[in-house]
Structure 1
């Protein structure tokens, strides 16, 4: 999965650039609002909200924006009703795509995503058409440059995570667990003196589709990026695997 990991690093660099345009602020605002709506506005009892706020701060999101998003979630401020929904589809070479969306208009989102799929070499599927190819997992992120691989593995076992690997940033470690254990894993990391900089539910492909030529790789990445750039998209998951050799040719 080295190629996919490298693409993840490319996405991280792109995310920092997007922050300058305010797109990342909008995503964090929706995530904070949803977290506060579902778990309350207290960061001490709502790890999803705490992680969302930490991520927003890391991207220099203004405190006023964060406070406003929390108040929308708790009902202290009137705002649009945001719904979470997952759209499924197919990309070039039979790749599977899951698009997690937070939107105030599901009809609009459905229409716009259908157009994005069809104009970029894919087609949107029906609910359940590709979701069965993915396993739902929990993901928690920390940054600790003092940890090595052995130390990270030991910490993972202590907090109840199933696996751990290096993240997109220097010193970042990603802990993967079952969805039901995500809150306890985050609490364990916090108790161990680690600052949880991100937590979310992710979809992990059971099997990957290897992309073996540059032209197909370009088409797959283009669709993935268009979906990821969609204003209401929160996360995009796929099962493609592109080797570093092909990525370098792009």
Structure 2
């Protein structure tokens, strides 16, 4: 995740964030629709929906969009989305996990396979790389939530396992089965989080050189541009020197 997180920062600095805003809102809304369709439209009785709404609000998705996504889940013609996880290898032997919500399995499989092959990667079988990651809950707060000591104290009280704080904010992690309870307790103590979700965290990162890093970032960018792709996780890491060159490119 270290490399993936840095890549997000590069996207932001290059101004790409604005260009993908609408697409990002659409993906968050899709998750709300699926969660509401599977577990019902009442967030009080549907933990997945409650987390999806909390995450969408933290990402500044308008209230109307959230309500429309919930309403869509109850319509007879609502799409039947299927959740699929693809796993494969990127340049330099890096591991890549791709989470998809799709109403067309064949389309998604073809697009993901093509993206891997065109960007120095190889699509593998389910389970081929996920054993190198841990499934955990992640809650992110902006710096305004409080200083590092305050956030740490509240996170421990809420039952979190770890907190990483820096100038960009606070990243709190917990066991994935505790995500609902921990996020609810933190919301009461610190306010609304910027994001609340289950993630795949790499157990060990693989350092790649400048050439492989550039290709890998292109692979991730292309995958994330796909409407069916919800999340992409990798285990790559680059040196500060290489990152500076890629940022300036």
User: Aligned partners of 2:38, 2:118: CA distance in 1, in Å?
Assistant: 35
Measure how far apart 1:150 and its partner are: 1.5
- Give the one of 11, 15, 18 matched to 2:17: 15
Aligned pairs for 1:66-145 within 5 A: 66-73=66-73, 75-143=74-142, 145=144
Count of aligned pairs between the two proteins: 244
Q: Is the CA contact 2:56–2:195 (under 8 Å) kept in the aligned structure 1? A: no
TM-score, length of structure 2 as denominator length: 0.87
Secondary structure at the aligned position of 1:196 is classed as coil
Measure how far apart 1:165 and its partner are: 1.9
User: Aligned partners of 1:3, 1:119: CA distance in 2, in Å?
Assistant: 20
Per-residue Cα deviation, 1:79-108 (whole angstroms, up to 9, x for no partner)? 110111100111100001000000001111
TM-score, length of structure 1 as denominator length: 0.87
Aligned pairs for 1:199-214 within 5 A: 199-211=196-208, 213-214=209-210
User: Aligned partners of 1:185, 1:64: CA distance in 2, in Å?
Assistant: 27
Match of 1:176 in 2: 173
Secondary structure at the aligned position of 2:112 is classed as helix
Match of 1:42 in 2: 42
User: Aligned partners of 1:233, 1:4: CA distance in 2, in Å?
Assistant: 15
Q: In terms of mean alpha carbon deviation, does 194-203 or 140-149 score higher? A: 140-149
Q: Is the CA contact 2:4–2:235 (under 8 Å) kept in the aligned structure 1? A: no
Match of 1:226 in 2: 222
User: Aligned partners of 1:231, 1:107: CA distance in 2, in Å?
Assistant: 14
Per-residue Cα deviation, 1:150-200 (whole angstroms, up to 9, x for no partner)? 222111110000111247x85x32210011110110121123252133211
Q: Is the CA contact 1:47–1:186 (under 8 Å) kept in the aligned structure 2? A: no
Structure 1: segments with no counterpart, 5+ residues? none
Change (3 A) 1:2 1:72: closer
Tell whether 2:184 aligns with 1:187.
yes
Structure 2: segments with no counterpart, 5+ residues? none
Per-residue Cα deviation, 1:105-160 (whole angstroms, up to 9, x for no partner)? 11110111111110111110011111111110011223351511122211111000
Secondary structure at the aligned position of 1:145 is classed as helix
User: Aligned partners of 2:61, 2:191: CA distance in 1, in Å?
Assistant: 22
Q: Is the CA contact 1:48–1:200 (under 8 Å) kept in the aligned structure 2? A: no
> CA-atom RMSD, angstroms?
2.4
User: Aligned partners of 1:58, 1:182: CA distance in 2, in Å?
Assistant: 15
